[in-house]
Structure 1
Amino acid sequence: MEFYSINKENGKRISKFNSNFIMSRIIQTDKPANIGYMHLEDNGVIGYHQAVVPQLLIIINGEGYVRNEKEEYFKVQSGDAVYWEKGEWHETKSEKGLTAIVIESEELNPSTFMPFK
């Protein structure tokens, strides 16, 4: 399990096409990727299971807790990203709810674009 930070300070200002915004790159894949948006309501849980492929969980809103094979939970919140290798056991839960984007692909290397937290 690895933790990454997605925040404005690690982004790059974009001015092309008369734009004015900051882009924080997340991932690039050459192989197919599945991308989903998850809604965990109050006391929601993504049950303890093995990752079928490498996956990256990006917390968009709210907060919760994640763990891997160890039973120690780590707090996550908006702006955090958690990466699990293929075969790694993991769980996500939230007392107050959270929304997240999950990216799953045989080829994920989040450290290419995001700094470790």
Structure 2
Amino acid sequence: MKFYKFNKVSGKKISKFNSNFVMSRIVQTEKPTHVVCMYLEENGVIGFHQAVVPQLLLILTGEGYVRGDKEEYVKVQSGDAVFWEKGEWHETKTDIGLTAIVIESEELIPSSFMPLKK
């Protein structure tokens, strides 16, 4: 399990085409990629399971806790990204609720674009 940041601070200011915004790159793939948005209500959980393919969890709003194969939970919040390799056991839970984007693909390499969380 690896932790990355995709918040505004880790992004790049874009001015091309007379634009004015910050963009945080996340991944780039050529193989099929599955992207979903998950909404966990108060006391929500994504149960303990193995990643079928490499998986990236991007916390958009709220906060919660993730764990790998050990029962040691790590707090995550908006702007955090958690990466699990294929076959890694993991779980996500929240007390207050959270919204997250999940990206799954055989060729995810988040370190290509996002800095590791310190």
TM-score range, shorter chain: over 0.9
Equivalent position amino acid for 1:105 in 2: S
Q: Equivalents in 1 of 2:93, 2:18: separation in Å?
A: 41
Q: Equivalents in 2 of 1:19, 1:63: separation in Å?
A: 31
- Number of equivalent positions: 117
1:113 matched to which residue of 2? Answer: 113
Q: Equivalents in 1 of 2:55, 2:76: separation in Å?
A: 16
Q: Equivalents in 2 of 1:75, 1:11: separation in Å?
A: 22
Q: TM-score with structure 2 length normalisation?
A: 0.98
* Superposition CA RMSD, Å: 0.5
**What are the equivalent positions in structure 2 for 1:31-42 lying under 5 Å apart?**
31-42=31-42
Q: Equivalents in 2 of 1:103, 1:64: separation in Å?
A: 18
2:73 matched to which residue of 1? Answer: 73
- CA positional deviation for 1:43: 0.5
- Where has structure 1 moved over 3 Å in runs of 4 or more? none
- CA positional deviation for 1:12: 1.0
Please state whether the residue corresponding to 2:93 is helix, strand or coil. strand
Q: Equivalents in 2 of 1:37, 1:105: separation in Å?
A: 15
Q: TM-score with structure 1 length normalisation?
A: 0.98
Unaligned runs of 5+ in 2: none
Percent identical residues: 74
Q: Equivalents in 1 of 2:92, 2:62: separation in Å?
A: 13
**What are the equivalent positions in structure 2 for 1:1-117 lying under 5 Å apart?**
1-117=1-117
